[in-house]
């Protein structure tokens, strides 16, 4: 369910342990058992900007079959936000950064 801010709003299962992580330098929290996608969309309306247009991306298939929810860990490896369980201490970013192979210069 979405609220007027455009973000998801948690309706149930609020008693799970809180997990802290960062996304694009911002400190966020999710709950144990959340996927990375769920945890981010509870705080923001989108995961990242589209590569070829002005649209914001927020996941599409929600089962790991498309390419819509790829994010990068600050250490470099990508992950699929919709199928990756949230872990405390994850440091994520919405873009590859200049050090990623093939990134625009």
Can you give the chain as a three-state secondary structure string? CECCCCCECCCCCCCCCEEEEEECCEEEEEECCCEHHHHHHCCCCCCEECCCCCCEECCCCCCCCCCCCEEEECCCCEEECCCCECCCCCEEECCCCCCCCCCCC
Tell whether the model's pLDDT for residue 2 goes beyond 50: no
pTM above 0.75, yes or no: yes
Specify the fold of 18-92.
Answer: Ubiquitin-like (UB roll) (3.10.20)
Is pLDDT above 70 for 3?
no
Mean pLDDT, rounded, for 91-99: 83
pLDDT digits (tens, 9 = 90+) for 16-73: 999 999 999 999 999 999 999 999 999 988 888 887 888 887 877 777 788 888 999 9
Region 59-88 average pLDDT: 87
């Amino acid at each position: 369910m979405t609220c007027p801010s455009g973000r998801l709003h948690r309706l149930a299962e609020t008693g799970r342990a809180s997990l802290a992580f960062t996304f694009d330098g911002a400190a966020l929290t999710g709950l144990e058992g959340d996927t990375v996608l769920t945890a981010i969309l509870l705080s923001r309306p989108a995961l990242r900007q589209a590569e070829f247009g002005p649209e914001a991306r927020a996941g599409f298939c929600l089962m790991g079959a498309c390419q819509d929810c790829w994010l990068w860990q600050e250490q470099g490896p990508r992950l699929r936000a919709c199928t990756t369980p949230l872990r405390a201490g994850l440091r994520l970013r919405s873009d590859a950064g200049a050090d990623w192979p093939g990134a625009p210069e």
